[in-house]
Amino acid sequence: MNSNSFQIEILQKLSQRNQSEKTKFIPIYQIIQQTQEKNEENKQKQKNLQQFILTIISENNSFKTHVESLQKRTTNTENLSKEISQLKNEQEKLIQSLKTKTEEAKGSENKLTVLKTKLENLTNDSNEIKAIWNKSKKEKQEKEEKFIKFKTEFDNLDKTFLSLKSELQKMQNLIEKNQTELSELIETNKHISEAISSSSLNKLLQEMSVNEEKMKQADKRNSFISEAQKNVNGKVTVERLKSVFPVIFKLPEKPLKTIQKPHENDILCLKYSDDGLFFATGGSDSIVKIWDSKVGTLTQELTGALSGVNCLDVTLNEHVLGGGNEGKIDVWNLNTGKLSTSLTGHVGKINSARFSTDSKKIVSGGGDRSIRIYDLKTGYCEFSLSSESKCFCVTFSRDNYYIFSSHFDGAIRIWDFRSPKLTHMIPNVHSKAITSVVVAKDGDTLLTNSCDNSIKLTDLRMFDVVKTITHPEYKTGILSSPAIFSPDESYIAAGSFYGSIFIWNRSSYKVEKKFDNEHKSPITSVDWSPDGQHLVSVERKNRIIIWN
């Protein structure tokens, strides 16, 4: 009995002690819980610490298991006391280790903050360096563009200088030639004076009068050239040029020079300069080429057109215009060789474009049935006139008061340039499309060519056809083929579809000359030099012939 009561008492004391010991570990457990919560908040930055906390939780679970086992091992109190003591030691170690890890985590967090600050500083420095680099790159690009601009301007000035130098040399050569001619004329006049006693007086007087006129012309040419040397950029009118360089017309006899494949593709148009020193050609390769009229060498290429060049005109050796297939007229400056302006407004193909006689305006006609008038200085289209039929050719009257246009319906329309408006229409001039129209020097006669294979002269005073010129072998070349007057207007020339060139005498209207076998494809254009010494013809299949 006493033995049982003693055991009960021992068990009660052990139970009380056990309860007391458990109460001591509750705060420790709470500390562990709080630590775990903190670690959860920083788990992204402190993975190692999280792993450690998980280890502590595992150890704590093991500790609970030991406590539970202690309840069962009541018979061995000494071992239980030792185990509890060991657990306390381990718990203290765990707490100390936890403190150490916490301090290490704080230190890592401080280092991370420092590294972030350094990274931000490096980023700012990098942005500043990048900005400086971009600024330097931009400045370098601007300097390169300025260098290219200056180089281009220098090249243009160099070309202009060479061109002026060449012109000056030509003028000097011409002066020397004229001086030689003058000396010869003086010598001839001297011989005539010596022979006056043995010849007919009237005949000698006539010869002297002719020689005197030639001497005056030579002096006049020298005076003009000297004036041009002093002022290279001075403008000279067509009338002034013709008065200084009178027409000494000769019918062509034979080819002087043949230029093979001057363009990459078809040649479509041709125009002589006012002084006859060069002529221009345009083709489907979108390039205008300038040729020396005496020797037939290429002197300049004008580029920048976006389509084939269908028509050309030259004004006072300063500008060249070219009309294309996309409704645009390009104007080049001959001094610089550069495209100076582009005139727009037409829709589709431009068939014809001409400068006014004062070189201030441009008139154009196209397949869109419109006739447009542009101001060369501003580049603006000042007027747009509508017609009932496609326009194939336009030209100004010599006084710039009127515009003459030829059309697909075979009619000629006359427009008042000052209004501007349609003032008169001459219907049925031809039975088919009129390919060209030229105003005679008297201002009262029009020369036209047509797809009906005839050439006609129309009197503007009666608005009626006064002469029709045909030939069994003549067929108009293309829709822009011209018929032209010789410089003295005593002959008419035109090229045929079969490659022949016809020259009619204007007095008899009979064929004076006919050149066969030199061209192998349709003649697209012909033009006489202003001095009447040369005729140039171009054919579609890429050949130019200068006739002497």
In angstroms, the CA 335 to CA 157 distance is 9
The answer to whether the bond into 255 is cis (omega within 30° of 0) is: no
Q: What is the pLDDT of residue 192?
A: 63
Low-confidence ranges of the chain (pLDDT < 70): 1-3, 22, 24-32, 34-36, 38-46, 48-50, 60, 63, 66-67, 69-80, 156, 160, 163-164, 166-167, 170, 174, 177-178, 181, 184, 188-248
Which residue's structure tokens are 């690009």?
A: 141
Q: What is the pLDDT of residue 28?
A: 67
Asked if 405 and 416 count as a contact pair (C-beta separation under 8 A), the reply is no
Q: What is the DSSP string of 382-419?
A: EEEEE-SS-EEEEEE-TTSSEEEEEETTS-EEEEETTT
* CA-wise closest residue to 15 among 65, 90, 74, 66: 74
Q: What is the pLDDT of residue 75?
A: 58
Between the alpha carbon of residue 208 and those of residues 112, 184, 243, 247, the distances in Å are 115, 13, 22, 21
Q: How many CB atoms lie within 10 A of CB 425?
A: 17
Q: What is the pLDDT of residue 204?
A: 57
Asked if 180 and 221 count as a contact pair (C-beta separation under 8 A), the reply is no
* CA-wise closest residue to 439 among 419, 407, 412, 421: 412
- Tokens at 523, concatenated: 């003649």
Asked if 413 and 407 count as a contact pair (C-beta separation under 8 A), the reply is yes
> Tens digits of per-residue pLDDT, 151-209?
777 776 777 677 667 667 767 776 776 677 677 677 766 666 665 555 555 555 655 65
Q: How many CB atoms lie within 10 A of CB 333?
A: 16
Burial of 292 (0-12, 13-18, 19+ CB in 10 A): middle
Q: Give the chain's end-to-end CA distance (angstroms, integer).
A: 162
Strands 434-439 and 445-450: antiparallel
Q: Which amino acid, one-letter code, is at 400?
A: N
Q: How many CB atoms lie within 10 A of CB 40?
A: 10
Q: What is the pLDDT of residue 20?
A: 73
Q: pTM for this structure? A: 0.58
Q: What is the pLDDT of residue 352?
A: 96
All residues at 6 or more sequence positions from 282 whose CB lies less than 8 Å from its CB, including other chains: 267, 268, 269, 270, 288, 289, 308, 309, 310, 311, 312, 322
Q: What is the pLDDT of residue 248?
A: 65
The CATH T-level fold of domain 255-547 is Methylamine Dehydrogenase; Chain H (2.130.10)
> Tens digits of per-residue pLDDT, 492-541?
999 999 999 999 999 999 999 999 989 999 999 999 999 999 999 999 98
In angstroms, the CA 271 to CA 486 distance is 14
Residues 296, 487, 460, 320: is their CA dihedral positive or negative?
A: positive
Q: What's the distance, CA 422 to chain centroid?
A: 36
Q: What is the pLDDT of residue 232?
A: 39
All residues at 6 or more sequence positions from 218 whose CB lies less than 8 Å from its CB, including other chains: 178, 181, 182, 185
